Structure 1
Amino acid sequence: MSQPVAEVGGYKNITATGAVSTGPCQLIGFYVNSTTIGTLVLRNGGASGEVMSGTITPAIGFHRFPANVGVSLYATVGGTLDVTFFFAAGS
Protein backbone atom coordinates (compact mmCIF):
# COMPACT_ATOMS: atom_id res chain seq x y z
CA MET A 1 0.00 0.00 0.00
CA SER A 2 1.39 3.39 -0.93
CA GLN A 3 1.81 6.25 1.50
CA PRO A 4 0.21 9.66 1.03
CA VAL A 5 2.52 12.14 -0.68
CA ALA A 6 3.06 15.48 1.06
CA GLU A 7 1.92 18.49 -0.95
CA VAL A 8 3.17 21.19 1.43
CA GLY A 9 6.29 21.55 3.53
CA GLY A 10 9.33 23.57 4.38
CA TYR A 11 11.97 24.75 1.96
CA LYS A 12 15.71 25.24 1.70
CA ASN A 13 17.64 27.09 -0.99
CA ILE A 14 21.16 25.96 -1.89
CA THR A 15 23.78 27.02 -4.42
CA ALA A 16 26.50 24.55 -3.42
CA THR A 17 26.83 20.94 -2.32
CA GLY A 18 25.44 20.26 1.15
CA ALA A 19 22.69 18.99 3.43
CA VAL A 20 19.12 19.82 2.51
CA SER A 21 17.63 18.18 5.63
CA THR A 22 19.38 16.82 8.71
CA GLY A 23 16.75 14.17 9.41
CA PRO A 24 14.13 12.02 7.68
CA CYS A 25 11.77 13.85 5.33
CA GLN A 26 9.41 13.51 2.42
CA LEU A 27 10.84 15.25 -0.61
CA ILE A 28 8.12 17.01 -2.61
CA GLY A 29 10.31 18.42 -5.36
CA PHE A 30 12.67 21.22 -6.22
CA TYR A 31 12.59 24.53 -8.09
CA VAL A 32 15.59 25.49 -10.20
CA ASN A 33 15.92 29.27 -9.94
CA SER A 34 18.93 29.58 -12.26
CA THR A 35 21.54 27.32 -13.79
CA THR A 36 24.57 27.36 -16.05
CA ILE A 37 25.27 23.76 -16.99
CA GLY A 38 24.27 22.81 -13.42
CA THR A 39 23.88 19.21 -12.28
CA LEU A 40 22.34 17.63 -9.21
CA VAL A 41 22.70 14.25 -7.47
CA LEU A 42 20.41 13.47 -4.51
CA ARG A 43 21.51 11.18 -1.67
CA ASN A 44 19.88 9.66 1.41
CA GLY A 45 22.28 9.86 4.35
CA GLY A 46 24.90 12.50 3.66
CA ALA A 47 27.80 12.86 1.24
CA SER A 48 28.51 9.12 1.17
CA GLY A 49 24.88 8.05 1.49
CA GLU A 50 22.68 6.02 -0.84
CA VAL A 51 22.25 7.63 -4.26
CA MET A 52 18.58 8.46 -4.89
CA SER A 53 19.00 9.70 -8.45
CA GLY A 54 21.43 9.61 -11.29
CA THR A 55 22.98 12.89 -12.34
CA ILE A 56 20.14 15.30 -13.10
CA THR A 57 20.71 18.22 -15.49
CA PRO A 58 17.60 20.23 -14.60
CA ALA A 59 15.99 23.04 -16.55
CA ILE A 60 14.73 26.18 -14.81
CA GLY A 61 11.35 25.54 -13.20
CA PHE A 62 9.67 23.14 -10.77
CA HIS A 63 10.46 19.43 -10.79
CA ARG A 64 8.29 16.98 -8.80
CA PHE A 65 10.40 14.35 -7.04
CA PRO A 66 8.18 12.69 -4.43
CA ALA A 67 10.36 10.42 -2.29
CA ASN A 68 10.61 9.20 1.30
CA VAL A 69 14.06 10.02 2.65
CA GLY A 70 14.82 7.76 5.62
CA VAL A 71 18.00 9.33 7.01
CA SER A 72 18.70 12.83 5.63
CA LEU A 73 18.63 14.57 2.26
CA TYR A 74 21.95 15.64 0.73
CA ALA A 75 22.48 17.33 -2.64
CA THR A 76 25.67 17.30 -4.69
CA VAL A 77 25.74 20.33 -6.99
CA GLY A 78 27.94 20.54 -10.08
CA GLY A 79 28.37 23.56 -12.32
CA THR A 80 26.33 26.60 -11.33
CA LEU A 81 22.91 25.86 -9.85
CA ASP A 82 20.55 27.83 -7.60
CA VAL A 83 17.86 25.40 -6.41
CA THR A 84 15.14 25.47 -3.74
CA PHE A 85 14.01 22.14 -2.26
CA PHE A 86 10.52 21.60 -0.84
CA PHE A 87 10.09 18.84 1.74
CA ALA A 88 7.97 17.76 4.72
CA ALA A 89 9.70 16.70 7.95
CA GLY A 90 9.48 13.01 8.85
CA SER A 91 9.06 10.07 6.54
Structure 2
Amino acid sequence: MEVIPSDETTVDTVLTKWDFSCDLEVNYESERKVRIVYSALDVDKELQPDKVKREMSVSDGKLLVHFEAVEPRFLRASFSAFVDVLTLATKTIDEFDQGVEV
Protein backbone atom coordinates (compact mmCIF):
# COMPACT_ATOMS: atom_id res chain seq x y z
CA MET A 1 0.00 0.00 0.00
CA GLU A 2 1.39 3.44 -0.99
CA VAL A 3 0.98 6.39 1.34
CA ILE A 4 0.46 9.71 -0.42
CA PRO A 5 0.83 12.79 1.78
CA SER A 6 -2.00 15.25 1.68
CA ASP A 7 -1.42 18.78 0.40
CA GLU A 8 -1.64 20.02 3.98
CA THR A 9 1.25 17.80 5.12
CA THR A 10 3.38 18.75 2.15
CA VAL A 11 2.92 22.47 2.72
CA ASP A 12 3.80 22.17 6.40
CA THR A 13 7.01 20.21 5.82
CA VAL A 14 8.37 22.14 2.85
CA LEU A 15 10.02 25.43 3.80
CA THR A 16 11.28 28.18 1.58
CA LYS A 17 15.03 27.76 1.34
CA TRP A 18 16.00 31.23 2.63
CA ASP A 19 13.52 31.70 5.51
CA PHE A 20 15.73 33.83 7.77
CA SER A 21 17.16 37.23 6.94
CA CYS A 22 18.47 40.45 8.41
CA ASP A 23 19.93 43.73 7.23
CA LEU A 24 22.85 45.76 8.52
CA GLU A 25 23.50 49.41 7.70
CA VAL A 26 26.70 51.16 8.79
CA ASN A 27 27.06 54.89 8.13
CA TYR A 28 30.69 55.89 7.55
CA GLU A 29 29.74 59.40 6.39
CA SER A 30 32.63 59.13 3.94
CA GLU A 31 32.49 57.59 0.49
CA ARG A 32 36.22 56.93 0.64
CA LYS A 33 36.11 55.03 3.95
CA VAL A 34 33.07 52.97 3.01
CA ARG A 35 34.73 51.98 -0.29
CA ILE A 36 37.85 50.83 1.58
CA VAL A 37 35.79 48.74 4.01
CA TYR A 38 33.67 47.32 1.17
CA SER A 39 36.78 46.34 -0.81
CA ALA A 40 38.39 44.70 2.22
CA LEU A 41 35.30 42.68 3.17
CA ASP A 42 34.12 41.76 -0.32
CA VAL A 43 36.95 39.26 -0.79
CA ASP A 44 35.68 37.08 2.09
CA LYS A 45 32.99 34.82 0.69
CA GLU A 46 30.58 32.82 2.81
CA LEU A 47 32.00 29.46 3.89
CA GLN A 48 28.67 27.70 3.33
CA PRO A 49 27.01 29.45 0.36
CA ASP A 50 24.35 26.76 0.22
CA LYS A 51 23.22 27.80 3.72
CA VAL A 52 23.98 31.54 3.92
CA LYS A 53 23.90 34.36 1.38
CA ARG A 54 25.39 37.81 1.92
CA GLU A 55 24.92 40.75 -0.41
CA MET A 56 26.79 44.02 0.13
CA SER A 57 26.38 47.41 -1.46
CA VAL A 58 27.43 51.00 -0.90
CA SER A 59 25.13 54.02 -0.99
CA ASP A 60 25.73 57.61 0.18
CA GLY A 61 28.61 56.75 2.50
CA LYS A 62 26.78 53.75 3.97
CA LEU A 63 27.63 50.07 3.83
CA LEU A 64 24.45 48.04 3.31
CA VAL A 65 24.54 44.30 3.97
CA HIS A 66 21.71 41.80 3.51
CA PHE A 67 21.97 38.30 4.96
CA GLU A 68 19.74 35.29 4.21
CA ALA A 69 20.03 31.81 5.68
CA VAL A 70 18.26 28.48 5.81
CA GLU A 71 18.41 28.30 9.62
CA PRO A 72 18.67 30.94 12.34
CA ARG A 73 21.94 29.51 13.69
CA PHE A 74 23.63 29.97 10.29
CA LEU A 75 22.32 33.53 10.12
CA ARG A 76 23.63 34.33 13.60
CA ALA A 77 27.04 32.80 12.93
CA SER A 78 27.47 34.59 9.61
CA PHE A 79 26.29 37.93 10.98
CA SER A 80 28.51 37.65 14.05
CA ALA A 81 31.63 36.75 12.05
CA PHE A 82 30.94 39.57 9.61
CA VAL A 83 30.54 42.14 12.40
CA ASP A 84 33.86 40.99 13.88
CA VAL A 85 35.80 41.64 10.65
CA LEU A 86 33.81 44.82 9.99
CA THR A 87 34.84 46.12 13.41
CA LEU A 88 38.48 45.23 12.76
CA ALA A 89 38.45 46.96 9.35
CA THR A 90 36.80 50.06 10.80
CA LYS A 91 39.25 50.30 13.71
CA THR A 92 42.18 49.83 11.32
CA ILE A 93 40.99 52.69 9.13
CA ASP A 94 40.38 54.92 12.14
CA GLU A 95 43.86 54.17 13.51
CA PHE A 96 45.94 54.45 10.34
CA ASP A 97 43.97 56.78 8.07
CA GLN A 98 45.18 60.05 9.57
CA GLY A 99 45.29 62.37 6.55
CA VAL A 100 46.62 59.73 4.15
CA GLU A 101 45.55 60.27 0.55
CA VAL A 102 45.11 57.23 -1.66
Going by fraction, where is helix more abundant, 1 or 2? Answer: 2
Q: Determine if the TM-score, normalized by the shorter chain, exceeds 0.5.
A: no
Going by fraction, where is strand more abundant, 1 or 2? Answer: 1
Structure label with greater radius of gyration? 2
Structure with more contact order per residue of length (Cα contacts < 8 Å, sep ≥ 6) = 1
Normalization by structure 1: what TM-score? 0.33
